[in-house]
Amino acid sequence: MTVDPKVLNDPATPYAQARGLIQNGDIALFHGNEPFSKLIETFTDGPFSHVGFVWRMDDIDRVMLLESVDQLGVRLIPLSTKLNGNGTETNKPYTGQLVIARHRDFPVGIADADHVDNQKFRDMTKYAVDRVGSPYSARDIAGIAARIMVGFAQVTEAENLVPDGSYICSEYAWECYKQIGIDIPFNAEKFIAPNDFARAEKVDFVASVGPDPA
Protein backbone atom coordinates (compact mmCIF):
# COMPACT_ATOMS: atom_id res chain seq x y z
CA MET A 1 0.00 0.00 0.00
CA THR A 2 1.11 3.57 -0.69
CA VAL A 3 -0.58 6.94 -0.23
CA ASP A 4 -2.84 7.57 -3.22
CA PRO A 5 -2.58 11.22 -4.37
CA LYS A 6 -6.36 11.14 -4.87
CA VAL A 7 -6.81 11.51 -1.11
CA LEU A 8 -6.03 15.21 -1.62
CA ASN A 9 -9.36 15.49 -3.45
CA ASP A 10 -11.30 14.50 -0.34
CA PRO A 11 -12.45 17.05 2.26
CA ALA A 12 -9.97 17.45 5.10
CA THR A 13 -10.97 16.65 8.66
CA PRO A 14 -10.44 19.58 11.05
CA TYR A 15 -7.43 18.99 13.29
CA ALA A 16 -9.44 18.89 16.54
CA GLN A 17 -11.52 16.02 15.15
CA ALA A 18 -8.59 14.12 13.63
CA ARG A 19 -6.27 14.51 16.63
CA GLY A 20 -7.33 11.25 18.28
CA LEU A 21 -6.43 9.27 15.15
CA ILE A 22 -2.80 10.39 15.16
CA GLN A 23 -0.19 8.11 16.72
CA ASN A 24 3.48 8.34 17.64
CA GLY A 25 5.70 8.08 14.59
CA ASP A 26 3.00 8.92 12.06
CA ILE A 27 4.29 10.52 8.88
CA ALA A 28 3.12 14.07 8.13
CA LEU A 29 3.03 14.74 4.37
CA PHE A 30 2.41 18.31 3.23
CA HIS A 31 1.03 19.43 -0.12
CA GLY A 32 2.06 23.07 -0.38
CA ASN A 33 0.78 26.01 -2.40
CA GLU A 34 3.91 28.15 -2.47
CA PRO A 35 6.00 28.36 -5.68
CA PHE A 36 8.95 26.50 -4.14
CA SER A 37 6.59 23.75 -2.95
CA LYS A 38 5.20 23.39 -6.46
CA LEU A 39 8.73 23.06 -7.85
CA ILE A 40 9.52 20.25 -5.42
CA GLU A 41 6.28 18.47 -6.27
CA THR A 42 6.88 18.82 -9.99
CA PHE A 43 10.49 17.66 -10.02
CA THR A 44 9.97 14.77 -7.58
CA ASP A 45 6.91 13.57 -9.48
CA GLY A 46 4.30 13.66 -6.73
CA PRO A 47 1.94 15.87 -4.74
CA PHE A 48 4.00 16.33 -1.56
CA SER A 49 6.65 18.99 -0.95
CA HIS A 50 7.40 18.57 2.76
CA VAL A 51 7.55 15.76 5.31
CA GLY A 52 7.88 15.51 9.05
CA PHE A 53 6.72 13.09 11.70
CA VAL A 54 4.53 13.16 14.78
CA TRP A 55 5.48 12.74 18.42
CA ARG A 56 2.73 12.58 21.04
CA MET A 57 3.47 14.03 24.48
CA ASP A 58 0.37 12.79 26.23
CA ASP A 59 1.62 13.77 29.69
CA ILE A 60 1.26 17.41 28.67
CA ASP A 61 -1.56 16.80 26.14
CA ARG A 62 0.43 17.85 23.09
CA VAL A 63 0.81 16.37 19.61
CA MET A 64 4.14 17.60 18.27
CA LEU A 65 5.63 17.79 14.79
CA LEU A 66 9.34 17.19 14.23
CA GLU A 67 10.54 18.70 10.96
CA SER A 68 13.39 20.49 9.22
CA VAL A 69 12.42 23.78 7.60
CA ASP A 70 14.20 26.42 5.55
CA GLN A 71 15.97 29.12 7.62
CA LEU A 72 15.10 27.46 10.96
CA GLY A 73 16.50 23.94 10.55
CA VAL A 74 15.26 21.06 12.71
CA ARG A 75 12.52 22.08 15.10
CA LEU A 76 9.78 20.71 17.35
CA ILE A 77 6.41 22.48 17.05
CA PRO A 78 2.83 21.66 18.11
CA LEU A 79 1.00 20.21 15.12
CA SER A 80 -1.93 22.46 16.01
CA THR A 81 0.35 25.50 15.63
CA LYS A 82 1.63 24.24 12.27
CA LEU A 83 -1.94 23.99 10.98
CA ASN A 84 -3.80 26.76 12.83
CA GLY A 85 -0.97 29.25 13.41
CA ASN A 86 -0.54 31.10 16.68
CA GLY A 87 -1.13 34.71 15.71
CA THR A 88 2.52 35.50 14.90
CA GLU A 89 4.26 36.24 11.61
CA THR A 90 6.47 33.19 12.10
CA ASN A 91 3.57 30.75 12.48
CA LYS A 92 0.71 31.63 10.19
CA PRO A 93 -2.11 29.15 9.46
CA TYR A 94 -1.04 26.53 6.93
CA THR A 95 -2.62 27.14 3.53
CA GLY A 96 -1.79 23.77 1.95
CA GLN A 97 -3.00 20.27 2.78
CA LEU A 98 -1.74 17.75 5.34
CA VAL A 99 -1.96 13.98 4.97
CA ILE A 100 -1.18 11.74 7.95
CA ALA A 101 0.23 8.33 7.02
CA ARG A 102 1.61 5.39 9.01
CA HIS A 103 4.36 2.85 8.42
CA ARG A 104 3.24 -0.65 9.35
CA ASP A 105 6.58 -1.50 10.97
CA PHE A 106 6.59 1.40 13.40
CA PRO A 107 6.56 -0.11 16.93
CA VAL A 108 3.44 0.40 19.01
CA GLY A 109 3.64 1.23 22.70
CA ILE A 110 4.04 -1.83 24.94
CA ALA A 111 3.66 -1.88 28.73
CA ASP A 112 7.02 -3.61 29.32
CA ALA A 113 9.56 -0.76 29.41
CA ASP A 114 12.40 -3.16 28.51
CA HIS A 115 10.65 -4.62 25.48
CA VAL A 116 12.73 -4.31 22.30
CA ASP A 117 10.11 -2.10 20.63
CA ASN A 118 10.24 0.39 23.50
CA GLN A 119 14.02 0.40 23.32
CA LYS A 120 13.83 1.22 19.61
CA PHE A 121 11.29 3.92 20.39
CA ARG A 122 13.62 5.52 22.93
CA ASP A 123 16.56 5.34 20.50
CA MET A 124 14.57 7.15 17.82
CA THR A 125 13.36 9.74 20.35
CA LYS A 126 16.89 10.51 21.53
CA TYR A 127 18.22 10.72 17.98
CA ALA A 128 15.40 13.00 16.83
CA VAL A 129 15.56 15.35 19.82
CA ASP A 130 19.37 15.54 19.82
CA ARG A 131 19.19 17.03 16.32
CA VAL A 132 16.72 19.80 17.14
CA GLY A 133 18.48 23.02 16.16
CA SER A 134 20.57 21.39 13.41
CA PRO A 135 20.69 23.60 10.30
CA TYR A 136 18.63 23.18 7.17
CA SER A 137 20.76 21.88 4.30
CA ALA A 138 20.78 24.37 1.44
CA ARG A 139 23.76 22.44 0.05
CA ASP A 140 21.67 19.30 -0.34
CA ILE A 141 18.91 21.24 -2.10
CA ALA A 142 21.51 22.28 -4.67
CA GLY A 143 22.76 18.70 -4.88
CA ILE A 144 19.24 17.40 -5.44
CA ALA A 145 18.64 19.94 -8.19
CA ALA A 146 21.81 18.77 -9.89
CA ARG A 147 20.74 15.12 -9.62
CA ILE A 148 17.35 15.90 -11.13
CA MET A 149 19.07 17.55 -14.10
CA VAL A 150 21.39 14.56 -14.44
CA GLY A 151 18.34 12.30 -14.36
CA PHE A 152 16.85 14.18 -17.29
CA ALA A 153 20.02 13.29 -19.19
CA GLN A 154 19.39 9.62 -18.29
CA VAL A 155 22.63 9.34 -16.34
CA THR A 156 22.53 7.34 -13.08
CA GLU A 157 24.31 8.61 -9.97
CA ALA A 158 26.55 6.06 -8.25
CA GLU A 159 25.80 6.86 -4.58
CA ASN A 160 22.89 8.01 -2.45
CA LEU A 161 22.92 11.64 -1.33
CA VAL A 162 22.97 11.42 2.48
CA PRO A 163 23.01 14.16 5.14
CA ASP A 164 26.15 15.28 6.95
CA GLY A 165 24.79 17.07 10.02
CA SER A 166 22.45 19.46 8.24
CA TYR A 167 19.13 18.29 6.88
CA ILE A 168 16.39 18.92 4.41
CA CYS A 169 13.01 17.73 5.68
CA SER A 170 13.06 14.29 4.09
CA GLU A 171 16.66 13.56 5.14
CA TYR A 172 15.86 14.30 8.78
CA ALA A 173 12.78 12.05 8.78
CA TRP A 174 14.68 9.31 6.92
CA GLU A 175 17.55 9.34 9.42
CA CYS A 176 15.16 9.21 12.39
CA TYR A 177 13.16 6.27 11.01
CA LYS A 178 16.42 4.41 10.34
CA GLN A 179 17.04 4.35 14.09
CA ILE A 180 14.18 1.86 14.51
CA GLY A 181 15.02 -0.18 11.42
CA ILE A 182 12.64 1.49 8.96
CA ASP A 183 14.45 2.35 5.74
CA ILE A 184 12.43 4.42 3.26
CA PRO A 185 13.80 3.60 -0.23
CA PHE A 186 15.62 6.34 -2.13
CA ASN A 187 14.34 7.33 -5.56
CA ALA A 188 15.99 6.64 -8.92
CA GLU A 189 18.08 9.83 -8.64
CA LYS A 190 19.41 8.46 -5.31
CA PHE A 191 18.11 11.09 -2.94
CA ILE A 192 15.16 10.98 -0.54
CA ALA A 193 12.15 13.28 -1.09
CA PRO A 194 8.76 13.68 0.63
CA ASN A 195 7.07 11.77 -2.17
CA ASP A 196 9.32 8.76 -1.53
CA PHE A 197 7.69 8.39 1.89
CA ALA A 198 4.25 8.43 0.27
CA ARG A 199 5.34 5.79 -2.25
CA ALA A 200 6.89 3.41 0.29
CA GLU A 201 5.29 -0.03 0.17
CA LYS A 202 4.32 -0.29 3.85
CA VAL A 203 3.02 3.27 4.28
CA ASP A 204 -0.76 3.57 4.66
CA PHE A 205 -3.08 6.55 4.58
CA VAL A 206 -4.59 7.58 7.93
CA ALA A 207 -6.32 10.93 7.42
CA SER A 208 -6.42 14.20 5.53
CA VAL A 209 -6.20 16.93 8.14
CA GLY A 210 -6.91 20.63 7.86
CA PRO A 211 -6.95 23.69 10.13
CA ASP A 212 -9.75 24.08 12.64
CA PRO A 213 -12.53 26.51 11.72
CA ALA A 214 -11.72 30.04 12.85
Amino acid at residue number 91: N
pTM, to two decimals: 0.87
pLDDT digits (tens, 9 = 90+) for 43-82: 888 999 999 999 999 999 999 999 999 888 899 999 999 9
CA–CA separation, 3 vs 25, rounded Å? 16
Please, which residues bridge with residue 49 across strands? none
196: nearest Cα among 210, 208, 182, 206: 182
Q: Could you tell me if 169 and 52 are in contact, meaning their C-beta atoms sit under 8 angstroms apart?
A: yes
Question: Mapping DSSP to helix (H, G, I), strand (E, B) and coil, where does residue 8 land?
Answer: helix
Count of residues in the chain: 214
- Spell out the domain ranges in the chain: 5-210
CATH homologous superfamily of 5-210 equals: endopeptidase domain like (from Nostoc punctiforme) (3.90.1720.10)
CA–CA separation, 118 vs 95, rounded Å? 36
204: nearest Cα among 128, 108, 106: 106
Question: Mapping DSSP to helix (H, G, I), strand (E, B) and coil, where does residue 164 land?
Answer: coil
- The answer on pLDDT for 111 being more than 70 is no
Question: Mapping DSSP to helix (H, G, I), strand (E, B) and coil, where does residue 5 land?
Answer: helix
Percent of the chain residues past pLDDT 70, beyond the cut: 83
Q: Could you tell me if 67 and 77 are in contact, meaning their C-beta atoms sit under 8 angstroms apart?
A: yes
**Quick one: pLDDT at residue 138?**
65
**Quick one: pLDDT at residue 29?**
98
